[in-house]
Amino acid sequence: MTRSTVSGATAAPRSRRSRAPGRTAAGRSAVGRLVFLGPGLAYLIVLLLVPLALVLSYTIFRRGRFGGVVYEATGENFTRLLDPLYLDVIVGSLKLASIATVIALLVGYPTAYLIAQLPRKWKTIALVAIVLPFWTNFLVRIYAWIVLLSGPGLVNSTLGDLGLGPFEFLYNQGTIVTGLVYSYLPLMVLPLYAAIEKLDPQLREASANLGARPARTFVSVTLPLTLPGVVTGCLFVFVPSFGNFIIPELLGGGRSIMVGNLIRDQFLKARDWPFGSTLALALLAVLVVLLLLQAWSARRA
């Protein structure tokens, strides 16, 4: 037996031993990732993907005579979706959500800008004040508006003392928009503040030194550079506003329903799960389009 044969025979076990620790480390890393990601993945699969798959599958079936689902393929649910009765609800929901988003932007942008100009200590206090309503239950906040705006409420009582009231503030579309803006305004302010905070102040100073007026500086410098925050904030407000059903139910009094109320009624009152699933799919499609637009604008920025 030559020396090369002996060295080759001894090198093979040595190389296998050298690879063994690498495989062990890789296995441990995979197990570690599974331990950390497993619960979250299981949560998403069981509580998000499976219900979503069921909703999507129900869209091609029809309602039974006494409710429930009859597993016979049909396209009548999508035909009903084009009925003017339901289209009016969807368009009305888009209108109310858009109005609430625009108002939240008009209020939220100056608020975020002012917070960004504050000293660091006051910034923290202002941001805490902005998110403070989120520490209270959502229903409690909505019922507080009912107490304030009702006939014998604080607002009407004050206006009555001034000889200006009373007024009917509740149960109309204006009250719904007010509730949506109040509920989701922090979701507009926070991304706007983050975008404005990252803005280099020297850019505004350079614009002023070149003779641009404040309005020109805002349109040419500040707004374009903070546009990603604007898009994100609008998305954060529009998405929950479009699918909301609690605020139209409580502040609107059922007089103005939105698509969220319509979906709930189809599932719980009409027991028409296939058509309710079709409405939910339409709502999801609108949200997916908005997310794609947001991703596109982020890439351009």
| 8, two tokens | 């080759």
Which secondary structure element, helix H or strand E, spans residue 62, and what is its range? strand 62-63
What are the residue ranges spanned by the domains of the chain?
3-58, 77-300
Contacts of 44 (CB under 8 A, 6+ apart): none
Phi-psi region of 67 (alpha: psi -120 to 50; beta: other; left: phi over 0): left
pLDDT of residue 230: 92
CATH label, 77-300, candidates 3.90.480.20, 1.20.1250.20, 1.10.150.120, 1.10.3720.10 = 1.10.3720.10
pLDDT of residue 128: 92
pTM score above 0.75: yes
Count helices and strands (H / E) in the chain.
15, 2
Full pLDDT tens readout for the chain, 301 residues: 554 544 444 544 555 554 555 556 555 666 677 777 878 888 888 888 898 898 889 999 998 888 888 888 888 999 999 899 999 999 999 999 999 999 999 999 999 999 998 988 899 999 999 998 888 888 999 999 998 888 788 888 888 878 776 778 888 899 999 999 999 999 999 999 999 998 888 888 788 878 888 888 888 888 888 998 999 999 999 999 998 999 999 998 877 889 999 999 999 999 999 999 999 999 899 888 988 888 887 777 6
pLDDT of residue 6: 45
Q: How many Å apart are CA 36 and CA 32, to the nearest integer?
A: 6
Q: What are phi and psi of 243, to 5 degrees?
A: -95, 5
